[in-house]
Structure 1
Amino acid sequence: MRFSRCRTLITAGLLAGALTACTPQATAPPPSPSPVADTHALDRFYDQKLAWGDCAAYATGQPSQDAFRTPGVECARLTVPLDYANPRGETITIGVLRHEALDPANRIGSLVMNPGGPGGSGMEAAARLVPTVSNNAIGLRFDFVGFDPRGVGASRPRVQCLTDAERDAERASNPGTSEAAWSGQARDFAAKCAQRTEHGTAMLANMGTRDVVKDLDVLRAALGDAKLSYLGYSYGTQIGYSYAEAFPERVRALLLDGAIDPAENDPDSLVAQGAGFARAFGQFAVECARHDGCALGRDPAKAAAEFQNLVQPLVAAPAKAGDGRLLSYRDAITGVVEAMYSSHSWPFLDTGLGLLRRGDGSVLLRLADGYYERAADGKYSSLQDAYYAVRCGDNPRASDPAVSRQRMTDAAPFLGWGRPDQGELDVCASWPVPSTSQPHRPTVTSAAPPLVISTTNDPVTPYQAGVNLANVFHGGLLTVDGTQHTAFLHGNMCVDVAGLDYLVDNSQPAPGTRCQA
């Protein structure tokens, strides 16, 4: 089984600090929000004051320890109901990090960000972006805020499914094409999530985006903002547009980069993502073939076959990768998927494939570690476990996972059966609680128009998804010509200027505006 509809903005291990990033054919409205029998019961949450302090105690591993040493950041815990239908019942906490505006006299308010995933740590991502935003209008005029959604990172409790050792073992395994193997592994994973997560199925039943946006509104109030200014990448765009649908009058600005199409179902989204990876791989093959020594040869038309010829032997004989570790077939595929998120990773991928020809799998394994957020000490972040809890909570069950999985393979044949999200639909079919929402075309009449940034050859969230989202919300669209996943605050002045103008002044770029990556 494994993963990735979307990715987080900040990856661990190899690419820590690199800005890469990330659900829903139904047109019916979503299920009604969980009812609140006594609306006054929520007052204590909306009226709470955050106690800001040192962030060291919020770190969950070496990557977050490093990020939380960023000068000027402080952290707090936000208390919210476990179940908004029972606000007088159990509570949970949300980890929050902020960097205060450097020009308080001209402060606009807070800018809350989410890096994607689902399951990415907004606290860690925000901390890593502080040096960037401190040099622009965000750092001057906004308190820059990141939060770990419920069940993620520093939030408590965290979703817990596999131990670090179990995840390593799973990555090393090769279930192949056996339907029994896929479904058995999925059932085992889902059962462990329910057994090992505090509050069990009660927590899993309230992990979807429906509940995250309610937490976000409580956070908005606790930050002292009458309206929300929000920056969302990849899956974070789903949080943003879902918030606008739930609380349209409380939106000041939404910058949504790498958009998810709100009306696309889970199987179709995974197929579209596979097609995006295939296009990106084709572009990588063309670029690689221009250089002497390309690991896949000088003929791009043969690159996919060359790649499978190179990695198929790993099924029977994994490659040595240093420190006593081995590169499996599945991890080799995952490493290539990780490199497809940005063309900046392509030289590193070529090096890794070249080394694999000589029996050295270390570079591809490091790429796969970045995808799974495995730190150098062998510890994993909560991203992968939380990913399933949100995805299975947000999407109705697929009627036939095997058929959808074959469609995924057909969309990206160069990946074979090893792509890391091959088992997602099986896991959700075994999930112990029902979904709490479904893909649909949002109905929003009064929210402030968002700015949507969409990249033409985004391998993860297709360009047209951004076009569709901008049209649904009557928002602005900024087109980025390039092959990468997300673009704002990645160092592109054209993109950054347009985004900053929007966040500060609510000014939209002229229709048809394009930036070159």
Structure 2
Amino acid sequence: MRLVRRTAAAVAALAATSVLLSGCLYAQIPEAPSSVARDPDVTGVADELLPYYSQKLEWESCGARFDCTEVTAPRDWTDPAAGDLSLALVRHQATGEFQGSLLVNPGGPGSSGYDFVADSLEYAVGPDLIERFDVIGFDPRGVGRSSAVECLDAEETDEYNYGVVAAPRGTPEWEKELTARNTAYAKACEQNSDGLLPFITTENSARDMDLIRAVLGDQTLNYLGYSYGTFLGATYAKLFPERAQRLVLDGAIDPAVPGLQVGTTQAIGFESALRAYLEDCLRTAECPFNGTRDEALTDLQALLASVARDPLPNGDGRVMTVDTMITGLITAMYSEDYWPYLSQGLTAALQGDPSGLLALADSYNGRLPDGTYQDNSAEAFRAYNCMDYPVEDDPAAEDAAIRRIEQKAPTFAPYWQGPDPCEVWPYPPVGVREEIGAQGSGPIVVVGTTNDPATPYEWSQSLAAQLENGVLITRVGEGHTGYNKGNACVDSAVEDFLVEGTVPEDGLRCE
């Protein structure tokens, strides 16, 4: 059966984790004493959950104005007696008048909120939020320093990510070989993850987030979620609307869109961003292409076809397949800041050197120059998506999706199809795709960027409309997510809401 590659809720925090940012940005400030301890909020907590909600946190210093701790949560929120897991937290203490905690999630699913805050605080949040909030980064269950999903070692991961498939693309043999790889990957995850896989779901993670809120001593949640973090935040608001009072969801995922449609919409979004890149590229002397945008697109498609026939050898012994080249292109679509690196990489690739595009793909995959991997974000990404997205088996819908991609995303279309890795996951999915209204919540601010390739603008529009108290802010521009990206209009609206409670005008448009 032909299947469209499941890229559901893809890659939220790529822009956060792959740019070079300095860690502990407040190292010049003398270390402050810990924030005043507050009693956990156990209001309305069921008796069987009181041991979790009443736990007292033990913080340890882990940098100037940073301290770290762990929270114990039940593996299975429906059966707390089934065992525990650990959640890793880092806190940057408010530099000014303290008004509460602000939880931040960079997305993924599977990206480390701990690293996001600890290593790139000023990229995660603006100065007004740093002043007024204890900024909390946390690794969701299955991720990083928390009880984590583990699958392959670095060498095996390299083969999975970059290995050459012997069979010709699109043949039954090619599909069989990819399915065998996906099956081996899934078995390794099951063997190495200490029984966690069936509990790695967004609903469980949202319940973890309420636990974190409570043990920090906050009666309601202040939250900033990027990309997949918007789905996590919206799920929280569905489960705990009375506690969802100041939530900002930036680069939204539409919770009602099924996985097949997610992959289709993202392919079209990346094609749109690629065209914007080429228009910009052709205005520079460094552009590897000439002529019109459409002529440049034809030349790029020819390069992709050439690499599909003959992968390019790299100096480190790897080769760049067309799938790896597609990953490099996608990576560069997340931010205009990456476009010069893409031009350099394409220029080199046209001369037979794939190192620049491989570096972009490595950034996406979390691969370090020494061949190790910086985190388990890819494993956690797979685990969450395979549990969150219901199985789809509608050949007619798949054929229609393929036709739409071929029409609207011709550059990516030849390389967007393949066996769904979640078909061989050890556990059936438990998630649903449905609208979220969060009746009874406070105002929820949704930020959408008009040419966001990973979470297309239409998803932000849809989520804001679904939410009973949704408020939409539109950032007109390129790239993934809108807050803290240099648009003063967006930044002021978000920060005034989180700090002062001032609700932006619904439909605010920031040029």
The interval holding the TM-score normalised by the smaller chain is 0.7 to 0.9
Of 51, 65, 90, the match for 2:58: 51
Q: Distance in 1 between matches of 2:205 and 2:52?
A: 14
TM-score after normalising by structure 2: 0.87
Of 160, 165, 172, the match for 2:155: 165
Asked if 2 retains the 8 angstrom alpha-carbon contact of 1:255 and 1:452, the reply is yes
Q: Which residue of 2 aligns with 1:25?
A: none
Q: Distance in 2 between matches of 1:394 and 1:404?
A: 23
Q: Deviations over 1:313-345 (max 9, x none)?
A: 334543343444432222111100100111221
Q: Deviations over 1:34-67 (max 9, x none)?
A: xxxx942211110111111144xxxxxxxxxxxx
The Cα of 1:2 is off from its aligned counterpart by 8.0
Of 177, 183, 193, the match for 1:187: 183
Secondary structure of residue in 2 paired with 1:399: coil
2:454 matched to 1:460?
Answer: yes
Cα root mean square deviation, aligned: 2.3
Q: Which residue of 1 aligns with 2:80?
A: 87
2:75 matched to 1:75?
Answer: no
Q: Distance in 1 between matches of 2:362 and 2:125?
A: 30
Asked if 1 retains the 8 angstrom alpha-carbon contact of 2:73 and 2:208, the reply is yes
Q: Distance in 1 between matches of 2:203 and 2:314?
A: 42
Asked if 1 retains the 8 angstrom alpha-carbon contact of 2:238 and 2:437, the reply is yes
Q: Which residue of 2 aligns with 1:412?
A: 409
Q: Distance in 2 between matches of 1:469 and 1:284?
A: 27
Q: Which residue of 2 aligns with 1:142?
A: 133
Asked if 2 retains the 8 angstrom alpha-carbon contact of 1:10 and 1:17, the reply is no
Mean Cα deviation higher: 255-264 or 318-327: 318-327
Q: Which has the higher contact order (CA 8 A, sep 6+)?
A: 1
Of 300, 303, 321, the match for 1:310: 303
Q: Percent identity?
A: 36
TM-score after normalising by structure 1: 0.86
Secondary structure of residue in 2 paired with 1:117: coil
Of 361, 368, 376, the match for 1:375: 368
Residues 1:295 and 1:133: Cα distance change in structure 2 (over 3 Å): closer
Q: Distance in 2 between matches of 1:400 and 1:131?
A: 45
Asked if 2 retains the 8 angstrom alpha-carbon contact of 1:267 and 1:404, the reply is no
Secondary structure of residue in 2 paired with 1:92: strand
Q: Deviations over 1:240-272 (max 9, x none)?
A: 010000011111200000000111001001100
Residues 113-262 of structure 1 correspond to what in structure 2 (within 5 A)? 113-131=104-122, 136-156=127-147, 158-175=148-165, 176-177=169-170, 178-199=174-195, 203-262=196-255
Residues 1:386 and 1:312: Cα distance change in structure 2 (over 3 Å): same
Residues 435-514 of structure 1 correspond to what in structure 2 (within 5 A)? 435-473=429-467, 474-514=469-509
The Cα of 1:183 is off from its aligned counterpart by 2.6
Secondary structure of residue in 2 paired with 1:453: strand
2:395 matched to 1:395?
Answer: no
Q: Distance in 2 between matches of 1:287 and 1:8?
A: 24
Letter of the structure 2 residue corresponding to residue 263 of structure 1 = A
Asked if 2 retains the 8 angstrom alpha-carbon contact of 1:394 and 1:435, the reply is yes
Asked if 2 retains the 8 angstrom alpha-carbon contact of 1:11 and 1:370, the reply is no
The Cα of 1:164 is off from its aligned counterpart by 1.3
Secondary structure of residue in 1 paired with 2:60: coil
Letter of the structure 2 residue corresponding to residue 124 of structure 1 = D
In the alignment, structure 2 segments of 5+ residues that lack a partner are 23-44
Aligned length: 474
Q: Which residue of 1 aligns with 2:13?
A: 9
Secondary structure of residue in 2 paired with 1:249: helix
